């Protein structure tokens, strides 16, 4: 069946902000979420999959297929972000969600993604909000698929600001640098949504209270969960950097996929460092081309988001999650 809205596929490691991104995608009238794949990242693969199923159940979207993918990065180390997302990936909130009636699909993430891209050539926007392991596996088994995506929106990396897990590295890319390097080198039409913009869209207590102001009714469970998740996520950031508001990394990636006018972006040559002792997992984007377009000749570029209309993004996220208009 052809998609009705903007067809989306989310590849995620369902922690707190992935959950908020999923709820935004499910409730956004412009979007049609066609499928979800999961990857180890913020938490173990099984937790990411279970969290995804429960979030979809909460959103009344339990029929959307969920395909588990990679339980570990391509080469080394199992990532986790327990200090931000807790052991269950949802800051201890997983148990508050409805039990999922849906079960994970047997087809592995990479295979399902290949099939979805081939079924809708040029139509499907893939949004990756976790380590890029599943995407790297998909392009390894089907080298034609990068050319079949409408766009691949990657939440990851930092172009002109410091990293969040190291001086220069961001969590998603550094959790599987080999996968990230392979994906960025392949001909996906990549839109990179990194810390340069996600750290500008921060929500906390004010927004949680606005979500709780939703009038009583059957649709209230989603805004109430979003309020609780925002508080848990903001508390983790307060412990980390003293700011009582949490950056909307993954929800912003979905929002940009649907509405690129939220950001100012530039085509930059970019690659992921896999060897550096201090910079493994770093996105190295060549900003010199902004002043020297001659340096672009013959080089692979991706679209890097450099600035964002933060008030517009905040307001769209809030009202889509269910806050009253004008919140
Ligand atoms: C990214 O890392 C994860 O912890 C978040 O879910 C987000 O995808 C931000 O660096
Ligand atoms: Ca994530």
**pLDDT digit string, tens, across residues 268-287:** 999 999 998 899 999 999 99
What local confidence, expressed as pLDDT, does residue 254 receive? 98
What CATH code would you report for 6-321? Answer: 3.90.245.10
Instruction: Note the pLDDT tens digit of each residue in 69-85.
Output: 999 999 977 767 777 77
Phi, psi of 219 (to 5 degrees): -85, 10
Compute the distance between CA of residue 57 and CA of residue 14 in angstroms, rounded to an integer. 14
Q: What is the DSSP string of 178-230?
A: HHHHHHHHS---EEEE-HHHHTT-EE-HHHHHHHHTSPSSGGGHHHHHHHHHH
Q: Residue 218 contacts by C-beta under 8 Å, 6 or more apart in sequence? A: none
Domain boundaries, the chain: 6-321
Instruction: Note the pLDDT tens digit of each residue in 191-220.
Output: 999 999 999 999 999 999 999 998 777 789
Ligand 2 centroid from CA 131, angstroms: 8
Q: Taking all residues of the chain, what is their mean pLDDT, rounded to a whole number?
A: 94
Ligand 1 centroid from CA 156, angstroms: 8
Compute the distance between CA of residue 187 and CA of residue 149 in angstroms, rounded to an integer. 10
Token pair listed for 206: 């004010």
Within the chain, how many helices (H) and strands (E) appear? Answer: 12, 11
Residue list, CB under 5 A from ion ligand 2: 13, 18, 129-130, 250
| CB-count exposure of residue 167 (10 Å: 0-12, 13-18, 19+) | exposed
Give yes or no: 249 in active site: yes
Q: What pTM did the predictor assign?
A: 0.96
C-beta 51 within 6 A of ligand 1? no
Pocket test for ligand 1, best of 176, 249, 281, 282 (most atoms within 8 A of CB): 249
Compute the distance between CA of residue 98 and CA of residue 95 in angstroms, rounded to an integer. 8
Q: Which atom of ligand 1 is nearest to the CA of 195?
A: 10
Ligand 1 centroid from CA 327, angstroms: 26
Q: Which of 189, 158, 204 is nearest to 317 (CA)?
A: 204
C-beta 84 within 6 A of ligand 1? yes
Nearest CA owner, ligand 1 atom 4: 42
Q: Three-class SS of residue 325?
A: coil
Q: Which atom of ligand 1 is nearest to the CA of 85?
A: 4
Compute the distance between CA of residue 215 and CA of residue 112 in angstroms, rounded to an integer. 39
Each residue's pLDDT expressed in tens, for the chain with a length of 327 residues: 555 789 999 999 999 999 999 999 999 998 999 999 999 999 999 999 999 999 999 999 999 999 999 999 999 777 677 777 778 888 888 888 888 898 999 999 999 999 999 999 999 999 999 999 999 999 999 999 999 999 999 999 999 999 999 999 999 999 999 999 999 999 999 999 999 999 999 999 999 999 999 877 778 999 999 999 999 999 988 887 888 899 999 999 999 999 999 999 999 999 999 998 899 999 999 999 999 999 999 999 999 999 999 999 999 999 999 998 888
Token pair listed for 230: 């925002």
Q: Which of 247, 260, 259, 273 is nearest to 303 (CA)?
A: 260
Ligand 1 centroid from CA 75, angstroms: 20
Q: Which H helix or E strand runs over 22?
A: helix 16-27
Q: Three-class SS of residue 254?
A: helix
C-beta 249 within 6 A of ligand 1? yes
Compute the distance between CA of residue 55 and CA of residue 49 in angstroms, rounded to an integer. 10
Compute the distance between CA of residue 157 and CA of residue 281 in angstroms, rounded to an integer. 8
What local confidence, expressed as pLDDT, does residue 2 receive? 53
C-beta 164 within 6 A of ligand 1? yes
């Amino acid at each position: 069946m052809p998609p009705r809205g903007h067809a989306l596929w989310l590849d995620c490691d369902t922690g707190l902000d992935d959950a908020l991104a999923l709820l935004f995608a499910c409730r956004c009238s412009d979007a049609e979420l066609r499928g979800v794949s999961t990857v180890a990242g913020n938490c173990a693969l099984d937790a990411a999959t279970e969290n995804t199923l429960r979030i979809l159940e909460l959103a009344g979207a339990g029929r959307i297929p969920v395909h588990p993918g990679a339980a570990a990065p391509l080469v080394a180390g199992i990532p986790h972000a327990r200090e931000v997302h807790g052991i269950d990936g949802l800051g201890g909130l997983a148990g508050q969600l409805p039990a999922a009636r849906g079960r994970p699909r047997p087809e592995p993430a990479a295979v399902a993604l290949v099939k979805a891209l081939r079924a809708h050539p040029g139509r499907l926007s893939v949004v990756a909000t976790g380590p890029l392991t599943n995407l790297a596996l998909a392009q390894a088994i089907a080298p034609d698929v990068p050319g079949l995506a409408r766009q691949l929106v990657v939440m990851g990396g930092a172009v002109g600001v410091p990293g969040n897990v190291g001086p220069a590295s961001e969590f998603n890319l550094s959790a599987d640098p080999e996968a990230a390097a392979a994906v960025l080198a392949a001909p996906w039409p990549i839109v990179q949504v990194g810390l340069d913009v996600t750290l500008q869209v921060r929500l906390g207590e004010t927004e949680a209270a606005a979500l709780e102001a939703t009038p009583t009714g059957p649709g209230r469970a989603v805004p109430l969960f979003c309020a609780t998740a925002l508080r848990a996520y903001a508390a983790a950031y307060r412990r980390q950097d003293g700011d009582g508001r949490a950056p909307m990394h993954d929800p912003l990636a979905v929002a940009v996929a649907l509405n690129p006018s939220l950001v100012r972006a530039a085509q930059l040559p970019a690659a992921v460092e896999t060897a550096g002792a201090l910079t493994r997992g770093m996105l190295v984007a060549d900003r010199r081309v902004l002043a020297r377009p001659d340096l672009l000749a013959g080089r692979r570029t991706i679209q890097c988001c450099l600035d964002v209309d933060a008030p517009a993004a905040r307001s769209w996220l809030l009202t889509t999650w269910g806050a009253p208009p004008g919140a």
